[in-house]
């Protein structure tokens, strides 16, 4: 019997976003979402069974105190998988992205952890099943089991068994993502708390699930027909609409910083010059630029030495 398991998963960027839950315990979303995974950026996790009174959680080789928020959340997730109350795990998580900087490291984190458990216990689960389990750790983790584009079905069932992600099998080699790092410090408010506040206090939110589901359909179609202009436009509009619901939450959730807005204006200026570039943003101040390979020189000229990811080539 195995005593150690490992797993590795990429971060993903939603092109149409998940914001709001219909079930908080099970991380069931009020709308579906579509993402693109960033190979090379992500999480690697080792897990083993240990003889100890509690779990041992390490982040980038640093042991975390048991009362640390991340350690607590991981231990609560692992409660789902213990063979008895006194079975404990040692988990070592290596992130190649800063934790909680709006680069969705919880997504790659729970996906990698589920893969490590699958390895440790030799479950031999398929992508859908792994996605369901990862979703229980963090909603967006359901999409991090796959490379390329992924689609997370909202699902209808109360038990959540139909709420999982799957790969969209279109390859788009020219597709590029640029990371504009405005600030990589820990975000002031978690997505979990933020989306709950939005659902509870934002009147604009009513309009969100329907728009988000429509945007998701448009983006899937744009991926399948490789219509970059339609994809970019829908993704940017979707992100800004999500941020509009955040801003109209009480207390307000404004993840943007001044430089975020400056970068947005730069994108719009480039578009006026005929350069096809769009952006998306998550629960943080950083922009993710969306463009095709042929625009690389123009993007580099405008944004300088930013990190560019080619999801289908890297």
Residues lying near ligand DP6 in the complex (CB under 6 A): 14, 17-19, 27, 33, 104, 106, 138-140, 191-192, 282-283
What is the four-CA torsion angle of 246, 252, 255, 257, rounded to 10 degrees?
Answer: 130
Alpha-carbon gap, residue 270 to 300, rounded angstroms: 12
Q: Structure tokens of 252?
A: 């307000």
**Are residues 84 and 68 in contact, defined by beta-carbon separation less than 8 angstroms?**
no
| Nearer of residues 33 and 93 to ligand DP6, judged by Cβ | 33
Q: Smallest distance, Å, CB 138 to ligand DP6?
A: 3
| Nearer of residues 28 and 270 to ligand DP6, judged by Cβ | 28
**Are residues 107 and 12 in contact, defined by beta-carbon separation less than 8 angstroms?**
yes
Q: Smallest distance, Å, CB 178 to ligand DP6?
A: 18
Q: Smallest distance, Å, CB 41 to ligand DP6?
A: 14
| Nearer of residues 46 and 282 to ligand DP6, judged by Cβ | 282
Q: Smallest distance, Å, CB 131 to ligand DP6?
A: 13
Q: Smallest distance, Å, CB 71 to ligand DP6?
A: 16
| Nearer of residues 245 and 295 to ligand DP6, judged by Cβ | 245
100's CB contacts (< 8 A; 6+ apart) are: 106, 186, 187, 190, 284
Q: Structure tokens of 50?
A: 């240990």
| Nearer of residues 138 and 295 to ligand DP6, judged by Cβ | 138
| Residue whose entry in the numeric block shows the structure tokens 């229980």 | 136
Residue nearest to ligand DP6 (CB): 139
| Nearer of residues 104 and 289 to ligand DP6, judged by Cβ | 104
Q: Structure tokens of 245?
A: 């619901």
**Are residues 160 and 149 in contact, defined by beta-carbon separation less than 8 angstroms?**
no
291's CB contacts (< 8 A; 6+ apart) are: 176, 178, 232, 275, 276, 277, 278, 299
Q: Smallest distance, Å, CB 235 to ligand DP6?
A: 11
């Amino acid at each position: 019997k195995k005593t150690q398991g490992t797993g590795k998963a990429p971060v993903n960027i939603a092109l149409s976003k998940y914001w709001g839950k219909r079930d908080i315990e099970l991380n069931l979303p009020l709308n579906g979402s579509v993402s693109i995974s960033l190979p090379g950026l992500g999480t690697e996790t080792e897990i083993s069974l240990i003889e100890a009174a509690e779990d041992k959680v390490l982040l980038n080789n640093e042991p975390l105190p048991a009362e640390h928020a991340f350690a607590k959340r991981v231990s609560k997730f692992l409660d789902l998988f213990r063979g008895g109350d006194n079975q404990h795990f040692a988990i070592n998580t290596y992130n190649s992205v800063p934790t909680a900087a709006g680069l969705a490291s919880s997504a790659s984190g729970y996906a990698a952890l589920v893969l490590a458990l699958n390895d440790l216990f030799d479950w031999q689960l398929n992508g859908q099943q792994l996605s369901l389990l990862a979703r229980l750790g963090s909603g967006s983790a359901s999409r991090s089991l796959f490379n390329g584009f992924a689609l997370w079905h909202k699902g209808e069932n109360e038990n959540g068994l139909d709420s999982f992600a799957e790969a969209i099998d279109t390859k788009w080699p020219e597709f590029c993502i640029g990371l504009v790092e405005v600030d990589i410090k820990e975000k002031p408010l978690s997505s979990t708390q933020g989306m709950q506040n939005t659902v509870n206090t934002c009147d604009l939110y009513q309009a969100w699930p329907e728009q988000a589901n429509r945007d998701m359909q448009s983006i899937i179609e744009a991926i399948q027909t490789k219509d970059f202009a339609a994809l970019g436009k829908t993704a940017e509009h979707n992100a800004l609409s999500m941020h509009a619901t955040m801003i109209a939450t009480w207390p307000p959730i404004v993840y943007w910083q001044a430089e975020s807005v400056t970068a947005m204006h730069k994108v719009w200026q480039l578009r006026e010059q005929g350069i096809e570039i769009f952006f998306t943003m998550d629960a943080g101040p950083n922009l993710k630029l969306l463009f095709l390979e042929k625009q690389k020189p123009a993007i580099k000229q405008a944004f300088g030495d930013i990190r560019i990811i080619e999801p289908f080539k890297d």
